[in-house]
């Protein structure tokens, strides 16, 4: 399988994230992608290429212009507040929740940072925009290859994307690579596209982006939001709205779920995607379902990822894979390569 590797990911290295009143070192680290890259090379799992360049137009098909403008200029504004900010990351601490206005952009940068985000766990750094943009280019390069007839293509990138919405960042995500890929597949001629999200955390951003769309089906298998991040979305009764009613499938599972139950949910998601008659599939590939993931609660084992790859390949759909979460860095390369190798066999 061809991999598009986003070398610009190295420009995004968050320092600290807020958790229970403490600032902890970020779980979303640069060595995540480097270990996957090393394992793909070691196993010779196909060519590894740099992304092709794209302008902002395909990003603006998913995100609002004012959000993209904010991300592009945020770091300059952050250091304009105080030159000493260059040595710190920007973390939001105010949010316009219910009853506040979000139509009027505050002049105050901290207020704008909160308006365009939903948690205090996603530091914005000097290189966040460049890194996220490089990742979107990987996703778009993968789409271009699949539209040209390739069976599968992998966008190996960080920061991840599936928590990012039309106009907000959070959950370590800034640009929604899976949504950008799905929209580009639509714009490139695929009439019906399915997004399958197997990250441990519900892909709230992707769901929200396509919630009223009949042409993009979203299916997600994730930790039950009653106890698991992102908490406020991902329940089984979210089935889409308006013209998109019936085009959203959430399969929340309890903490502790292991492969036998997890793969039943996968079969159910794939059956729904078959019923939708998708022309192409986007896989939001989170590897934080692994038994030793430090922030997640499923119990998948390293060999289970071969089976997942085989199951996905058996669908016979052209597939664009975007890399999402997965924080057990020591085994992340092995697990990811297992899935891709299972797909190839």
Contacting positions for ligand SP5 (CB under 6 A): 19, 121, 160, 163, 171-173, 199, 201, 229, 286, 288, 295, 324-325
CA distance 16 to 266: 34
- The tokens of 236 are what? 């089984």
By CB under 5 A, is residue 17 in contact with Zn ion?
Answer: no
Task: Pick what 224 binds: Zn ion, ligand SP5, none; C-beta below 5 to 8 Å, kind-dependent.
Answer: none
Nearer to Zn ion, 51 or 223 (CB): 223
Task: Pick what 11 binds: ligand SP5, Zn ion, none; C-beta below 5 to 8 Å, kind-dependent.
Answer: none
Least separation in angstroms between residue 206's CB and Zn ion is 12
Least separation in angstroms between residue 286's CB and ligand SP5 is 6
Number of other CB atoms surrounding residue 294 within 10 Å: 10
Least separation in angstroms between residue 203's CB and Zn ion is 9
Residue 26: phi, psi to the nearest 5? -60, 135
- Among 201, 202, 213, 299, the residue binding Zn ion under the rule CB under 5 A is 201
**Piece in contact with Zn ion (CB under 5 A), picked from 57-65, 103-111, 250-258, 323-331:** 323-331
Nearer to Zn ion, 160 or 342 (CB): 160
Using the Cα atoms of residue 249, residue 202, residue 221 and residue 217 in order, give the sign of their dihedral.
positive
CA distance 161 to 329: 18
Nearer to ligand SP5, 12 or 186 (CB): 12
Task: Pick what 18 binds: Zn ion, ligand SP5, none; C-beta below 5 to 8 Å, kind-dependent.
Answer: none
The CA-based angle 55-61-62, given to 5 degrees, is 115
Report how far Cα 92 is from the mean position of its chain's Cα atoms. Answer: 20
CA distance 302 to 300: 7
CA distance 108 to 113: 9
- Among 200, 217, 218, 290, the residue binding Zn ion under the rule CB under 5 A is 200
Active-site residues, by number, are: 163
Which residue's CB comes closest to Zn ion?
Answer: 325
By CB under 5 A, is residue 293 in contact with Zn ion?
Answer: no
The CA-based angle 30-68-56, given to 5 degrees, is 90
By CB under 5 A, is residue 229 in contact with Zn ion?
Answer: no
By CB under 5 A, is residue 133 in contact with Zn ion?
Answer: no
- Among 34, 89, 119, 199, the residue binding Zn ion under the rule CB under 5 A is 199
- Among 159, 161, 225, 325, the residue binding Zn ion under the rule CB under 5 A is 325
Pairing of strands 216-223, 16-19: unpaired
CB-based contacts of 331: which residues, under 8 Å, 6+ apart?
Answer: 290, 292, 302
Number of other CB atoms surrounding residue 330 within 10 Å: 9
Binding site residues, Zn ion, CB under 5 A: 199-201, 286, 288, 325
């Amino acid at each position: 399988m061809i991999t598009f590797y986003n070398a610009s990911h190295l420009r995004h290295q968050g320092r600290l994230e807020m958790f229970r009143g403490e600032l902890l070192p970020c779980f979303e680290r640069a060595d995540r992608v480097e270990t996957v890259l090393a394992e793909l090379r070691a196993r010779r799992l196909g060519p590894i290429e740099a992304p092709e360049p794209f302008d902002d137009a395909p990003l603006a098909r998913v995100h609002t212009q004012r959000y993209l403008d904010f991300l592009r200029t945020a770091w300059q504004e952050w250091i304009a507040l105080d030159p000493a900010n260059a040595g710190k990351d920007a973390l939001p601490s105010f949010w316009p929740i219910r009853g506040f206005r979000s139509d009027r952009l505050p002049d105050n940068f901290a207020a704008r940072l909160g308006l365009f985000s939903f948690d205090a766990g996603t530091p914005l750094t000097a290189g966040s925009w460049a890194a996220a943009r490089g990742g979107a280019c990987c996703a778009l390069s993968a789409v271009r290859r699949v539209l040209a007839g390739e069976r599968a293509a992998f966008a190996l990138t960080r920061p991840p994307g599936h928590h990012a919405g039309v106009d907000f960042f959070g959950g370590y995500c800034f640009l929604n690579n899976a949504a950008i890929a799905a929209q580009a597949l639509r714009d490139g001629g695929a009439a019906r596209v399915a997004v399958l999200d197997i990250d441990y955390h519900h892909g709230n951003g992707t769901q929200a982006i396509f919630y009223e769309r009949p042409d993009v089906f979203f299916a997600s298998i994730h930790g039950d939001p009653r106890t698991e991040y992102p908490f406020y979305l991902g329940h089984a009764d979210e089935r889409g709205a308006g013209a998109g009613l019936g085009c959203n499938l959430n399969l929340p599972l309890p903490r502790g779920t292991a492969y036998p139950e997890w793969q039943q949910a996968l079969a159910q998601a794939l059956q729904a995607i078959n019923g939708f008659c998708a022309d192409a599939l986007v896989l939001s590939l989170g590897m934080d379902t692994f038994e030793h993931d430090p922030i997640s609660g499923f119990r998948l084992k390293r060999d289970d990822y071969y089976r997942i790859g085989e199951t996905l390949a058996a669908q016979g759909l052209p597939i664009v894979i975007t890399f999402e979460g997965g924080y057990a860095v020591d085994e992340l390369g092995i697990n990811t390569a297992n899935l891709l190798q299972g797909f190839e066999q």
